[in-house]
Amino acid sequence: MPEQLPNLPTHAARAAWRPSRRVLLQTGLLGALGLWGVSVVARGIPSAAAAEAGAPGAAPVADGSDVALAFFRPKDRPLAGAVVEALLDWALPPDPAARKEAVERSVLGADRYFASYTPAVQDEARQALDLLELAPVRWLGGLWSDWSVAEPAAVNRYLEGLRRGRLNLSRQVYRLLEGIATVGWYSQTAAWPGIGYPGPPDVPRPTGEAPL
């Protein structure tokens, strides 16, 4: 892989580098191209990686916090959490502990949601995550830090590059990531006061064992 990459800025240059919008658009395009290139090269690899990290449809995998994942693999958590925090930093609780918990609950909410997808669609989404988690693909999109430590502002620049990317694939990947954040967070009751949604009405519903 590395020999296919363009010259990357040195560490010092990276710290000083403030990309213009034009550069961002280009890196978004490069990122998408990288995604495409790697996806061609890596067909078949994700399934092996998935088997290692907890295969789709296999027994649920715990990550140490005793919460089973149905769609994500434990290795996806940093990326998913970074995307939630980047897109919704303005909406999440400011207190660090409460924010961490809100992000965690959003990731689990998105996990449940994606687990309802048709298996073939789940596989496509997992392939996209596998690629995004490869460091060279991240670099091509202009995101230098690992997902687990990336600053929300840097993640947002990366997401904007995908969103405005020239390739369909880039914009599709943006929708996937955007869905992790918005579906994950707004399926939580804790999210609703922030937008003024009062929640559904409390309606006495039919009870009992009969189907109707």
Enumerate binding residues for another protein (CB under 8 A): 57, 70, 86-88, 90-91, 109, 112-122, 156, 159-160, 163-164, 168, 171-172, 175, 178-179, 181-183, 185-189, 191-192, 194-197, 200-201, 203, 205-208, 211-212
Least distance from another protein to the Cβ atom of residue 45, Å: 17
Residue that has been written with the tokens 């496509």 in this structure: 124
Are 141 and 31 contacting, i.e. CB atoms less than 8 angstroms apart? yes
Least distance from another protein to the Cβ atom of residue 166, Å: 8
C-alpha dihedral sign at 43, 44, 49, 50: positive
User: Of 6 and 211, which CB lies nearer to another protein in the complex structure?
Assistant: 211
User: Of 64 and 211, which CB lies nearer to another protein in the complex structure?
Assistant: 211
User: Of 136 and 160, which CB lies nearer to another protein in the complex structure?
Assistant: 160
User: Of 3 and 202, which CB lies nearer to another protein in the complex structure?
Assistant: 202
Q: How far apart are CA 129 and CA 46, in angstroms?
A: 9
Least distance from another protein to the Cβ atom of residue 26, Å: 17
Least distance from another protein to the Cβ atom of residue 32, Å: 12
User: Of 136 and 187, which CB lies nearer to another protein in the complex structure?
Assistant: 187
Residue 69's beta-bridge partner residues?
61
